Amino acid sequence: MGVAHTHAWRTAPRFFPMAAPPELALLVGRDEARTRAAADRLEIAEIETDWRRAVEREDIDVVDICTPGNTHAEIALAALAAGKHVLCEKPLANSVAEAEAMTAAAERAAARGVRTFCGFSYRRTPALALAKRFVEEGRLGEIRHVRAQYLQDWLSDADTPLNWRLEKDKAGSGALGDIGAHSVDAAQWVSGQLIEGVSAMLHTFVETRPLAGTAQGLGGSAEAGAPSGPVTVDDAAAFTARFDGGAIGVFEATRFAQGRRNANRLEINGSSGSIAFDFESMNTLEYFDARDDQAAQGFRTIQVTDAVHPYTDHWWPVGHGLGYGDLFVHQVADVVAALQADTAAHPDFAEALKVQRVLHAVEASARNASRYTSVDRPDSQD
């Protein structure tokens, strides 16, 4: 993430005109030698090993937090207190309580003109941004269905060793927070509706895995008797949802879907049209318009690379697609544009908190025999 962010800060001003291009003043990392090496490669002059020094410096305007989730709150709170704008990687925090504290601090800081942003980078995909525009233009009519899947497969092999993403105390949750969070954010953002309640199932397919370093061979196959440890997060999450605008949703997130490398999918069906997106084909959007004459109706495969599409007018000729790394460039462009115009950019901490609350309700429902659980009151039994 650090590389992607740094690359984006460098690249954005070359493609998106900016009154004042951002300067990368300081790289912070805990290990001095490694931080120095990274700063050299990334052409950043100064380093620090204590993030507090960054927050104290007068010449720093923006703090970009790419650390693990359990450190977000402390850093962000300090940065906001010091009057820095903050861009924080998703998930906003590892708990709703922390996210609430951050959002409260963000609201206080906003009174002094300080802005917050959360790094739900998939929003910067031109095709998803176009989908949102289509919804706002009323092309889909009344929205009925939201269908979101985030399917990966890199844990399919039971002999893949344990890593921190499989340990609850570090990662917070598994597929749910890692990739399901993106689905929840995209679903709410594109549909323009918020999730009111969920009925959820979490599941762990492989309950113990070999410890890293003990596995043998290319296939990662563990020796018999090799030391192993418990997986303490969900391998997969599935839930149904009700939205505040009347839509219903079906969500699924997993890292066990063999052959699905990064199938971040969103489909929305309305009374007069539909959109469908899959990140594995990130430069296209499927769009169905029920108002087309009946003989000629069909899902259109829009190549979202045209001058009239979001972001793409800053890049290449039509038909010359973008890549994953370019999403972070868009994020920087949006953040800088907001700061220079002194306007809001989505999503801020308050909006990211709404995602966090949905994830919390999912976990509560899963613990409670999948019972329908309100996002606002996840612990009530009504």
Q: Which of 54, 72, 243 is nearest to 147 (CA)?
A: 243
Q: Cα-flanking dihedrals φ and ψ of residue 243, to 5°? A: -100, 155
Stretch that binds a second copy, among 2-10, 51-59, 61-69, 185-193 (CB under 8 A): 2-10
> Of 257, 339, 345, 358, which one interacts with a second copy (CB under 8 A)?
257
Site for a second copy contains 42 (CB under 8 A): yes
Site for a second copy contains 152 (CB under 8 A): yes
Segment 234 to 253, residues that bind a second copy, using CB under 8 A? 236, 238-240, 242, 246, 248, 250, 252
For 143-178, the three-class secondary structure string (H helix, E strand, C coil) is: EEEEEEEEECCCCCCCCCCCCHHHCHHHHCCCHHHH
> Of 129, 162, 186, 322, which one interacts with a second copy (CB under 8 A)?
322
Site for a second copy contains 259 (CB under 8 A): yes
CA distance 248 to 187: 11
Segment 218 to 237, residues that bind a second copy, using CB under 8 A? 236
Segment 269 to 298, residues that bind a second copy, using CB under 8 A? 269-274, 279-285, 287-290, 292, 294-298
Phi-psi region of 124 (alpha: psi -120 to 50; beta: other; left: phi over 0): alpha
- Contact between 234 and 174 under an 8 Å Cβ cutoff? The reply is yes
Comparison of 356 and 374: residue with beta carbon closer to a second copy: 374
> Of 309, 330, 354, 357, which one interacts with a second copy (CB under 8 A)?
309
> Of 11, 95, 221, 232, which one interacts with a second copy (CB under 8 A)?
11
Comparison of 116 and 269: residue with beta carbon closer to a second copy: 269
> Of 321, 337, 338, 346, which one interacts with a second copy (CB under 8 A)?
321
- Peptide bond preceding 13: is omega within 30 degrees of 0, i.e. cis? no
> Of 53, 262, 337, 338, which one interacts with a second copy (CB under 8 A)?
262
Angle at 318 between CA 312 and CA 319, to 5 degrees: 110
Q: Which of 247, 276, 252 is nearest to 144 (CA)?
A: 247
In the bound complex, what is the minimum distance in angstroms from residue 186's beta carbon to a second copy?
16
Amino acid at the residue 333: A
In the bound complex, what is the minimum distance in angstroms from residue 134's beta carbon to a second copy?
8
